[in-house]
């Protein structure tokens, strides 16, 4: 008989969380701490959303995608998770750029970028200070019409080398382009510039398993392989429950950690919303997706230190279209050394490439397999200059594409970075349309990435708690 993944689940919970990305996990933990009964539903066989991992035979464990986040993650994990999780966050100190315009290594913080811009790029100190001060002061309530391109032209006119240094890592981090609002760039860039780039030592599997243990200790009912088919709404526009794996389970409030467009248009249905809100939702642009190539070296076989992150490009100048092209010219290499997972002797390399879903969506099976093989081979060709003899050292290699992300995350078009900026407004206004219905996920660029997701989960869980509390008194 098929396993019942909802066995012994209640018929009603205070809160149901759909999806176990970092925003969903954080919301579940905070609401359970506050004393609410919480059911978390994840369609995949493990938790984490984009913050996850997979295993291959031979003892290889790969983290999905590129993981780097600002120092603020330490505070958020300490406050909303555990001190143990916060203590496992470490800085990546070797961030490399290798391209036709410059070659450099940086600790990726304001002091070092200031030094580089003055000494290597010959920018006047007062200009550098003015740029950093302007970026740091930006906030959500600022002018949303100025673009990132206009911001760079204001301080560094005609300097596409400077734009590349300042923009390329942020584009890889959350899909930003020069046409996005300058404030979205300023907020994210300033967060990184505070102390640099950080990651989680021990691997994503260790992180998510610690989060799982903490949620279980707080009473969260965690269910995997549970696909939500519908969000139920009453005639007076209040959320009443879900249909999951064919079973109805009721709730007083619900947080969707799914894509905002699929939450509204598919899980709820546009007939339950104001027409103007539906049109606004339909107009939200999805962000781009990505490809990865995962390379495992033979047990005990390593390579000379190459840094932690390496932004490689053969293209001259910063060009988003070139970064997204299937004719890959830009890659970010994440180098995993044994100390990444203490006690391991394994070296891993993950190549990340921003990508367009449309370039992969309609390929035949034969074309798709051939394109993945080509992606692997060209990645090895590129990597050879940094890890000589990589083909002899590698024991496992495979690729993921936007179609892979669409399959495992159910994000529309495999969007790795959620939506463009306008998605945040639609997400925030969801409970104004349906009472008790909230969204916490990757929207609006500034709420993307690990830190943005955790903090958005915090914001939304506080709103849910305020909504539920009057009903409990």
Domain 12-45+224-285+417-472: CATH class, spelled out = alpha beta
Q: Given this model, what pLDDT does residue 473 score?
A: 46
- Calculate ∠ Cα 62-68-73, nearest 5°: 115
Q: How far apart are CA 68 and CA 63, in angstroms?
A: 12
For residue range 293-348, what is the model confidence (pLDDT) as tens digits? 999 999 989 999 999 999 999 988 888 888 888 888 899 999 999 988 888 889 99
Q: Given this model, what pLDDT does residue 214 score?
A: 98
CATH topology of domain 54-91+198-202+288-409: Guanine Nucleotide Dissociation Inhibitor; domain 2 (3.30.519)
Structure tokens at 320: 């988003």
Backbone angles phi and psi of 334, in degrees to 5: -105, 120
DSSP string, 32-46: HHTT--EEEE-SSSS
The mean pLDDT of the chain is 92
Q: Given this model, what pLDDT does residue 66 score?
A: 60
Nearest Cα neighbor of 174 from 359, 451, 397 is 451
Structure tokens at 469: 């509390």
Nearest Cα neighbor of 37 from 287, 222, 305 is 222
Whether pTM exceeds 0.85 = yes
Query: Can you list the alpha helix ranges (DSSP code H) found in 47-198?
Result: 72-80, 83-87, 110-119, 125-137, 148-155, 160-174, 182-195
pLDDT beneath 50, residues of the chain: 473
Q: How far apart are CA 308 and CA 354, in angstroms?
A: 19
Q: Given this model, what pLDDT does residue 399 score?
A: 96
For the chain, the domains span 12-45+224-285+417-472, 54-91+198-202+288-409, 110-191
For residue range 80-129, what is the model confidence (pLDDT) as tens digits? 999 999 999 999 989 999 999 999 999 999 999 999 999 999 999 999 99
Q: Given this model, what pLDDT does residue 277 score?
A: 98
Nearest Cα neighbor of 190 from 446, 440, 450 is 446
Q: Cβ distance 281 to 426 under 8 Å?
A: yes
């Amino acid at each position: 008989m098929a396993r019942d993944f909802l066995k012994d689940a209640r018929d009603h919970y205070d809160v149901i969380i759909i999806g176990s990305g970092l925003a969903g996990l954080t919301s579940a933990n905070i609401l359970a701490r506050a004393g609410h009964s919480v059911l978390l539903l994840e369609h995949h066989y493990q938790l984490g959303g984009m913050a996850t991992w997979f295993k291959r035979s031979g003892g290889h464990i790969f983290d999905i995608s590129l993981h780097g986040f600002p120092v603020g993650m330490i505070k958020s994990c300490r406050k909303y998770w555990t001190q143990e999780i916060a203590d496992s966050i470490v800085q990546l100190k070797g961030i490399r750029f290798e391209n036709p315009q410059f070659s450099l290594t940086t600790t990726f913080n304001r002091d070092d970028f200031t030094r580089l811009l003055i000494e290597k790029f010959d920018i006047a100190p007062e200009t550098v200070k003015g740029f950093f001060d302007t970026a740091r002061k930006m906030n959500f309530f600022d002018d949303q019409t100025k673009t990132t391109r206009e911001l760079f032209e204001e301080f560094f006119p005609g300097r596409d080398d400077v734009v590349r240094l300042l923009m390329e890592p942020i584009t890889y981090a959350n899909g930003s382009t020069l046409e996005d609002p300058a404030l979205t760039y300023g907020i994210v860039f300033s967060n990184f510039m505070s102390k640099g780039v950080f990651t989680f030592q021990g691997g994503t599997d260790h992180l998510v398993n610690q989060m799982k243990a903490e949620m279980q200790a707080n009473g969260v009912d965690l269910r995997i392989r549970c696909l939500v088919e519908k969000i139920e709404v009453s005639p007076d526009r209040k959320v009443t429950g879900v249909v999951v794996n064919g079973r109805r389970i009721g709730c007083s409030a619900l947080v969707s950690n799914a894509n905002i467009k699929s939450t509204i248009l598919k899980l709820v249905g546009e007939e339950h919303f104001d027409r103007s809100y539906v049109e606004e939702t339909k107009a939200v642009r999805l962000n781009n997706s990505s490809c990865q190539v995962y390379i495992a070296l033979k047990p005990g076989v390593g390579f000379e230190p190459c840094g932690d992150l390496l932004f490689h490009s053969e293209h001259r100048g910063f060009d988003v279209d070139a970064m997204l092209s299937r004719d890959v010219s830009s890659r970010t290499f994440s180098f995993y050394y044994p100390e990444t997972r203490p006690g391991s002797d394994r070296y891993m390399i993950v190549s990340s490439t921003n990508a367009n879903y449309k370039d992969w969506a309609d390929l035949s099976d034969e074309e798709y397999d051939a394109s993945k093989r080509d992606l692997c081979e060209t990645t090895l060709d590129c990597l050879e200059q940094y890890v000589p003899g990589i083909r002899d050292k590698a024991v496992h290699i495979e690729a993921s594409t936007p179609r892979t992300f669409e399959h495992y995350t159910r994000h529309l078009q495999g969007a790795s970075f959620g939506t463009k900026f306008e998605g945040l407004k639609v997400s925030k206004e969801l409970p104004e349309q349906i009472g008790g219905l909230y969204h916490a996920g990757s929207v609006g660029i500034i709420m993307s990435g690990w830190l943005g997701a955790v903090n958005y989960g915090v914001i939304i869980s506080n709103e849910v708690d305020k909504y539920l509390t009057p009903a409990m008194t």
